[in-house]
Amino acid sequence: AAAAAAAAAMDLATVVTALAQGRNAFAALVERIVLLPPEQLLAAGQIALSALSARNPTPSTHGAAEFKLRSKLFDVLLAQEEFFEAASTMAAMHMESVQLPPEQAADAYIKVAETYLELDEAVDAEVFANKASPLMADVSDRSLELRYRTTYARVLDANRKFLDAATRYYDVSKVSEGVDPDDLLLLLGRAVTCACLGRAGPQRTRILAQIFRDERLQSLETLEDYRDHAAVLAKMYKGQLIRRHELEGFTASLLDHQKAICEGGFTYPERAIMEHNIEACGKIYECIALGEFATILGVTGSVAEGIAAKMISQGRLSAVIDQVDGFLTFEASRAGVGGAAAKSPGVFTQWDEKLTNVCRLVNTIVEDVAGRID
């Protein structure tokens, strides 16, 4: 009954009066509000913030009290799984209006970023992760540092920057002190997921090699969501072809943004596997007919040719497409597992060199004949 009476007293007039009386009066009012039961606290807190916003449209002079009130509202809303309202309440705080220690300010920014990630709002999450970034140099709290590093990896993951995310997840998964080994194994699983979803190329090759050598990799089979991940990563690292049916367990565990449609009309796992299989073909074949190449990828000839052409143009695949005869010739040295010997130059490279020599010889003859005529 006393709490209900206190809540009833927190009307707009009370808040306005406290604001008019100055910083100490409003701070005292906030101290009363944060002691209220959750539902009454939410009602009174919103009234106080509305009045504060109306009176101070610019960053508040009541910064410390406002921060305390928003922090309490955030905790209550988060406990009720009202993620959007929680994030919005804390995000509206002008941190520059209150002198907070670096750890407290960083913690607030990271909380907001974590909450936006629960809503799959990657853009907003990245904004607040970036705000926390310059503060981390002055943070000594180990757990807060790990939360920041994990949050930033999740932001990269949510933004489909899978290879950067894989590197971040893997770095955090190697922490050995003060973290539950099960949590570290979960982070390793996320690193495997992102590594497998990344674009084929040197960066992915490096992170695949790092994870493949990790003795914890096989332990992922004990986690329901990562049971098939070790096998998929091993095939990618070894340059083996992967069939679609081998991805069922892997794909089923992916989050929505990891299964989204990307350019070309493929999902991210479909694109990743096709690009991997193109690289794998380069370890098996010196030269392959485009029709057979398309059959291996499970797409039409024009689609297969388009994907290979894009990888070549981006410098992620060294090969030549002969559209006249319908062949794809792999030119670059493709090291096998453990650094196998490089393959010899492709037939088209040899042909170009011979053609160049013939042209030079013809030019020499023409110049010699022209000189004699003169």
Q: What is the pLDDT of residue 325?
A: 87
In DSSP notation, 95-111 reads GGGS---HHHHHHHHHH
Position 344 scores a pLDDT of: 41
Phi, psi of 213 (to 5 degrees): -85, -5
Is 210 within 8 Å of 233 (Cβ atoms)? no
One-letter-per-residue 3-state SS of 171-188: HHHCCCCCCCHHHHHHHH
Measured from the Cβ of residue 272, the count of other Cβ atoms closer than 10 Å reads 25
Global pTM? 0.77
With 0-12 CB in 10 A as exposed, 13-18 as middle and 19+ as buried, what is 181? exposed
Name residue 193's amino acid. Answer: T
**DSSP letter (8 states) at residue 36:** S
Q: Angle, to 10 degrees, between the axis of helix 102-118 and the axis of helix 83-91?
A: 150
pLDDT at position 63: 84
Chunk the chain into consecutive blocks of 10 residues (it has 374) and report each block's average pLDDT, rounded to whole numbers. Answer: 48 58 78 90 88 67 87 96 96 85 95 96 96 94 94 96 97 88 95 94 93 95 92 93 86 92 88 90 90 90 90 88 90 44 46 66 72 64
Q: Which helix (H) or strand (E) holds 327?
A: strand 327-330
